[in-house]
Amino acid sequence: ETGVTQTPRHLVMGMTNKKSLKCEQHLGHNAMYWYKQSAKKPLELMFVYNFKEQTENNSVPSRFSPECPNSSHLFLHLHTLQPEDSALYLCASSSRDRAQYFGPGTRLLVL
C-alpha cells in the first residue's frame, strides 16, 4: 500500500490554474509512469521515465508537463487544463522485466 504514494489524492482546479501532481516510489525501481483513467475508457499510458530519462510520450498535450528529478520521484505539472482532462491520474513504477506497481491515484476535476 505504501510502495507508491501520490499527492494530492483529490484536486479541483479551474481552467486557468497551475497545479502539480506528485508521485514517490519506495520500491527501488528504475522506471516510473503516468497513466490517465477516464470513465468508461481503458487506462491510457501518458509518459514513461527510465533512469530519469523520458522514453515515452504518448502524444500527450503540452498542457501536461512531466518532471522526473530522480528515480524515486515523478511530477506532473498541469496548466490551462480543459474539463475533459478530468480523470484519475495514476502513477506506477517498475524494475526491469517486472510488473508495474500503481499508486492510489489523484482524482482530478477541472471546472
Partner 1 sequence: EDKVVQSPLSLVVHEGDTVTLNCSYEVTNFRSLLWYKQEKKAPTFLFMLTSSGIEKKSGRLSSILDKKELFSILNITATQTGDSAIYLCAGNNAGGTSYGKLTFGQGTILTVHP
CB of 69 to partner 1, least distance (A): 19
Q: Does 99 bind partner 1 (CB under 8 A)?
A: yes
Q: Which of 45, 52, 60, 75 binds partner 1 (CB under 8 A)?
A: 45
Q: How far is the CB of 83 from partner 1 (least distance, A)?
A: 22
The sign of the torsion formed by the CA atoms of 20, 57, 15, 88 equals negative
DSSP 103: -
Other C-beta atoms closer than 10 Å to the C-beta of 16 total 8
Total residues contacting partner 1 by CB under 8 A comes to 27
**Cell numbers found for residue 99:** 510488473
CB-based burial of residue 93 (10 Å sphere; 0-12 exposed, 13-18 middle, 19+ buried)?
Answer: buried
Compare residues 86 and 104 and give the one whose CB is closer to partner 1.
Answer: 104
Residue among 18, 26, 77, 98 that touches partner 1 (CB under 8 A): 98
Q: Which three cell numbers stand for residue 64?
A: 501536461
Q: Which residues inside 13-42 make contact with partner 1, applying CB under 8 A?
A: 30-31, 33, 40-42
Binding site for partner 1 (CB under 8 A): 4, 30-31, 33, 40-45, 48, 50, 55-56, 58, 90, 94, 96-105
